[in-house]
């Protein structure tokens, strides 16, 4: 199989399969939560729980007092990953093909810098996971696997963009394959949090909110 054939397969059938697994998998994960339901709370509320839950979905993205120091690398990586995914011009062209519309992109030089920052912050979080006693105790195969499948698309994308280092077609094929791996892994790992945190934050905010506490 030549590099160009690999690329066609990666962004053709392989990508379609991965997206299908991603969508069906996430639906199952959401359904697994939904069907458990919860008992109606019979205590008299002090305030509205629903809106408090909605509020927490947003406010929980902010650092708790005095805790920013633990969260900086997390912010850099999450924002960096999001910006690179949605504001790198070739990605936008890809989304335009699929969705039929496009949006503005950011200069390649900026994307390049953000990618390096994101990779560095991911390496930093890995080092913390390995060195800090709490993070090391909590971590299992799932955590390291999720880290790897998140790191790889950023790394291979970076290498593909810097085509003087590697063979562009081959590296692009590998890049898309790592994206496929990320998509397939999503429903089976803690990466699911990107979807389910809307539920968990809402529940937390709503439970406290009906008691009159903003969390």
Partner 1 sequence: MSTPLQLAVNAMKEQIDAPIASFFSSCVHCGLCADACLFYTETCDPKYTPIHKLDLMRSVWSREYTLWGKVLKLLGLNRAITDDDLSKWQELVYDSCTLCGRCSMVCPVGNDIVYMIRKMREAMVVSGHAPEGLKDATVRALETGSPMGVSLTTLEAQIKHAEKESGLSVPMDKQGADYLMLLSSAEIAQFHEIIPAVTRIFHEADVSWTLCSEAFEGTNSGIQIGSSDLAAELLERIVSGAEKLGVKYVISPECGHAYTALRWEGPNLIGRPYSFKVIHILELLDELRQTGRLKTEGMDEMRMTFHDPCQLVRRGGVIEEPRQLLNMVATDFVEMKDYGKWNWCCGGGGGVSANEAAESLRLKVFERKKKQLDEIKVERIVTACSNCRNMLEDGLDENNMDIEVIGLTEMLAEKLTSQKSATSAGDN
Chain positions contacting partner 1, by CB under 8 A: 28-29, 32-39, 41-44, 46-47, 56-57, 60-61, 64-65, 67, 70-71, 74, 132-140, 143, 187-188, 190, 192-193, 196-197, 199-205, 207-208, 211-215
As measured in angstroms, the least distance from the Cβ of 112 to partner 1 is: 27
As a whole number of angstroms, the longest Cα–Cα distance in the chain is: 67
Return the number of the residue (96 or 211) whose C-beta is nearest partner 1: 211
As measured in angstroms, the least distance from the Cβ of 59 to partner 1 is: 10
Return the number of the residue (158 or 186) whose C-beta is nearest partner 1: 186
Cβ partners under 8 Å of residue 171, min gap 6: 156, 159, 160, 163
Residue 183: in which H helix or E strand, if any? helix 168-185
As measured in angstroms, the least distance from the Cβ of 125 to partner 1 is: 9
3-state helix, strand, coil split of the chain in percent (to 5) is 75, 0, 20
Range 127-136 contact pairs with CB under 8 angstroms and sequence separation of 24 or more? 128/73
As measured in angstroms, the least distance from the Cβ of 128 to partner 1 is: 9
- Sole residue written with tokens 């892994």: 185
Return the number of the residue (7 or 126) whose C-beta is nearest partner 1: 126
Nearest CA among 130, 127, 121 for reference residue 151: 121
Cβ partners under 8 Å of residue 21, min gap 6: 183, 184, 187
Give residue 188's region: left, alpha or beta (phi > 0; psi -120 to 50): alpha
Return the number of the residue (78 or 91) whose C-beta is nearest partner 1: 78
Return the number of the residue (88 or 186) whose C-beta is nearest partner 1: 186
As measured in angstroms, the least distance from the Cβ of 74 to partner 1 is: 7
Cα–Cα distance, 78 to 53 (Å, whole number): 22
As measured in angstroms, the least distance from the Cβ of 162 to partner 1 is: 30
Query: What three-state secondary structure class fits 190?
Result: helix
Return the number of the residue (95 or 188) whose C-beta is nearest partner 1: 188
């Amino acid at each position: 199989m030549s590099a160009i054939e690999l690329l066609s397969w990666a962004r053709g059938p392989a990508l379609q399969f991965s997206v299908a697994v991603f969508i069906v998998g996430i639906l199952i994960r959401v359904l697994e939560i939904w069907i458990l339901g919860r008992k109606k709370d019979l205590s008299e509320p002090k305030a509205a729980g629903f809106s408090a839950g909605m509020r927490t979905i947003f406010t929980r993205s902010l650092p708790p007092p005095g805790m920013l120091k633990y969260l900086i690398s997390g912010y850099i990586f999450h924002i960096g990953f999001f910006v690179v995914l949605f504001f790198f011009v070739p990605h936008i062209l890809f989304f335009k093909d699929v969705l039929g519309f496009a949006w503005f992109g950011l200069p390649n030089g900026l994307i390049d810098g953000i990618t390096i920052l994101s990779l560095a912050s991911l390496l930093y979080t890995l080092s913390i996971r390995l060195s800090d006693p709490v993070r090391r105790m909590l971590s299992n195969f799932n955590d390291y696997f999720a880290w790897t499948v998140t790191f790889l698309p950023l790394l291979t994308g970076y290498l593909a963009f810097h085509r003087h280092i590697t063979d562009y077609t081959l590296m692009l094929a590998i890049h898309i394959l790592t994206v496929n791996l990320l998509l397939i892994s999503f429903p089976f790992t803690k990466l699911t949090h990107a979807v389910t945190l809307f539920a968990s934050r809402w529940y937390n905010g709503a439970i406290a909110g009906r008691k009159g506490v903003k969390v």
